[in-house]
Amino acid sequence: MTPHPEPTEPMGPLEMMGTPEAARTGPAEAAGHAPSRTFAICGDLIHDPATGLTHHLQPEQITALAHAGEPAGGRCGQPTVRRIRLPEHLVEDAPVVGPAQRDRRLPASVCWSPIVRCNLSCPQCLDDTSVIEAGHADRVRVAGILGGAGVLGVDISGGEPLLLRDLPELLDLLIEAGQCAVSVTTNAWHLERLAARLAPRVDAIRVSLDGPDAARHDAIRGATSFERAAAGIRQAAALGIRVQVQTVLMRSTRAHLQEMTDLARELGAAGLTVLQMLPLGAGANLRHELLSDDEASATTAALNVPAGLRVRLRTRDLAGGFSIVRADGNLWRNHPDAQGIGSLLPLLSRDDLQLTGRDGNA
């Protein structure tokens, strides 16, 4: 539980790719219209890097895109995914496609955990710290595969990805491939300092919070974690990054979910994802904390959601079958009931990503 205040491998200097504000302000905002941001599209599927959800565009939306010179194009399952900037309400209001409803031979999205190390030590952590962390050359190789694979979304997680010196390079490789939308999931300890460097090269940042104030958050994550995460969220939001707060729902924390919702809005986040706890990694020791998906749905349905904030619940059912590339460069996949995870094979080409069952999301 003892946090280490500085990265073990601090992020190196990198070039700015234009000002963050300029990079994130499209013609729609300039004209005073609804804000737009970047998604990934493949046929009638569109992926939101903030929420991790994949939506089904309606025929009239596809027609409107074609008229605007942005044909959706391509058959899903083929490498015809591309990045597209759209008004966010257009995507957020489109129906969500569940894991069993996608007709793809590749995952819609994957989580990539290129680092095992973390500066925190949370009791509910999903990560398997026995995984051997591959080096820089392997990370570059994996980024090249994922960027061109035909998955719509790649979320870089960990461990703590902001400890990686080569994180900007990996993000650039993914984005420059021009296919997937890219997000980073972080504990935000170093986010305030690094947000300006990340702003031009991520489509969303997901920040994990466990409590609505310093006392409750730090009791799980360690002293000053809350203060640092809150400062990071404010800074990222001020730079125009789409910030999604993520919180793991547990029996002992469900009572403060309303306060978490209010806090997310107050800090400037645009969304809150409520994650059903998975009994993986250290979380396997906390089975008494598990709520059923029905209990989780009832808890989130009772929330009073502030204007301007979107709340998403990721049930365990939705997490079944989700694909993870771990720091060892191997492809792992959640069991269908998300009560376990298995290592499948080394990721050596896009074909290794092929689905063997349903495609979860996270």
The letter for the amino acid at 45 is: L
- Contact flag: residue 118 with ligand SF4 (CB under 6 A): yes
For ligand SF4, which residue of 36, 54, 179, 187 counts as binding (CB under 6 A)? Answer: 187
Q: How many residues of this chain bind ligand SF4 (CB under 6 A)?
A: 11
Smallest distance from the beta carbon of 126 to ligand SF4, in angstroms? 7
C-beta of 160 vs 262, nearer to ligand SF4: 160
- Contact flag: residue 280 with ligand SF4 (CB under 6 A): no
Strand partners, 276: 249
For ligand SF4, which residue of 122, 131, 202, 324 counts as binding (CB under 6 A)? Answer: 122
- Contact flag: residue 233 with ligand SF4 (CB under 6 A): no
- Contact flag: residue 192 with ligand SF4 (CB under 6 A): no
Q: Which two tokens stand for residue 15?
A: 């070039």
- Contact flag: residue 278 with ligand SF4 (CB under 6 A): no
Strand partners, 247: 274
- Contact flag: residue 121 with ligand SF4 (CB under 6 A): yes
C-beta of 61 vs 246, nearer to ligand SF4: 246
Of 27-35, 46-54, 72-80, 152-160, the segment contacting ligand SF4 by CB under 6 A is: 152-160
Smallest distance from the beta carbon of 127 to ligand SF4, in angstroms? 5
Smallest distance from the beta carbon of 199 to ligand SF4, in angstroms? 21
Of 37-45, 113-121, 147-155, 230-238, the segment contacting ligand SF4 by CB under 6 A is: 113-121
- Contact flag: residue 120 with ligand SF4 (CB under 6 A): yes
Smallest distance from the beta carbon of 294 to ligand SF4, in angstroms? 25
CA distances in angstroms from 220 to 210, 223, 273, 299, listed in the order given: 7, 9, 18, 21
- Contact flag: residue 159 with ligand SF4 (CB under 6 A): yes
- Contact flag: residue 174 with ligand SF4 (CB under 6 A): no
Smallest distance from the beta carbon of 28 to ligand SF4, in angstroms? 35
- Contact flag: residue 279 with ligand SF4 (CB under 6 A): no
- Contact flag: residue 127 with ligand SF4 (CB under 6 A): yes
Give me the residues that bind ligand SF4 (CB under 6 A), please.
118, 120-122, 125, 127, 158-160, 187, 208
